[in-house]
Amino acid sequence: MSDIDLPLPQRTELNAPYWDSLAQCQLSFQRCRRCGHAWLPARTECPSCLEADWHWQPASGHAKLVSWVVFHIAYHEAFKNRLPYNVAIVELAEGPRLISNVVGLTEPGDLTIDQALKLRIELEGDFALPRFEPA
């Protein structure tokens, strides 16, 4: 692990419930009360029906791998000692998609498209991050 701090997310009024929930070991997403659409990251309006009537819902932690890449260059000091590392597009069983890392692998690219993943929450500074591992 690097000694340099990771570039941490900006905590806002809108996304605070997301990060607070992760600190309680729970990944959450927004769901529209009008049309039932579910999404991440935090938005003020439902991108499907455009209403602002939504609530936070806990995710099961079941997910699948949409795609992934392996970084061989560091765009930020904090990642120089982590090379090579993967970044993945993950789709939750409930539908929302997010950028994450798949951990618990021998090699960072030891992955298969559409493979089943499960949530593994890891602490980085004050932030509990939603990472994933093979299910």
Partner 1 sequence: MPQAAVIAGVGHTAFGKLEGRSTVSLNIEAARKALADAGIEKSQVDGLFVKAPTSKFEMMYAQKLAEAMGLMPRIGGVYDHGGASNISMISYAALAIEAGQCDIALVCLADNPATGSRHAYEKSWGDDDVFGWFGVPSGYAMIAQRHMAEFGTTRDQLGAIVTACRNHGAANPHAQLRKPLTLEQYRQSRPIVAPLTRDDICLVSDGAAAVVVMSAERARQLKVAKPVSILGFGQGQTSWEVVQRPTLTSTAAAASAHTAFKMAGLQPKDMDVAQLYDCFSIVPLMTLEDYGFCKKGEGGHFVEGGRVALGGDLPLNTAGGLLSETGMPGLQLVIEGVRQMRGESVNQVKGAQKCIVSNQGGIMHTHSTLILGQ
Q: Which residues bind partner 1 (CB under 8 A)?
A: 6-10, 15, 41, 66-73, 75-76, 79, 82, 84-85, 87, 89, 97-101, 109, 112-113, 124, 127, 129, 131
Residue 130: cis peptide before it, omega within 30 degrees of 0: no
CB of 117 to partner 1, least distance (A): 14
* Nearer to partner 1 among residue 39 and residue 61 (C-beta): 39
CA quadruple 54, 55, 60, 65: dihedral sign: positive
CB 18, min distance to partner 1, A: 10
The strand pairing partners of 64, in sequence order, are: 91, 116
Closest distance of CB 116 from partner 1, Å: 15
Half-sphere exposure (Cβ direction) of 56: Cα atoms closer than 13 Å: 16
Q: Which is nearer to partner 1, 44 or 72 (CB)?
A: 72
- 31 Cβ partners below 8 Å, 6+ apart? 37, 38, 54, 55, 56, 57, 94
Looking at the Cβ atoms of 26 and 111, the one nearer to partner 1 is: 111
CB-wise, 19 or 61, nearer to partner 1?
Answer: 19
Nearest approach, Cβ of 71 to partner 1 (angstroms)?
A: 5
Strand 62-71 and strand 116-124: the pairing is antiparallel
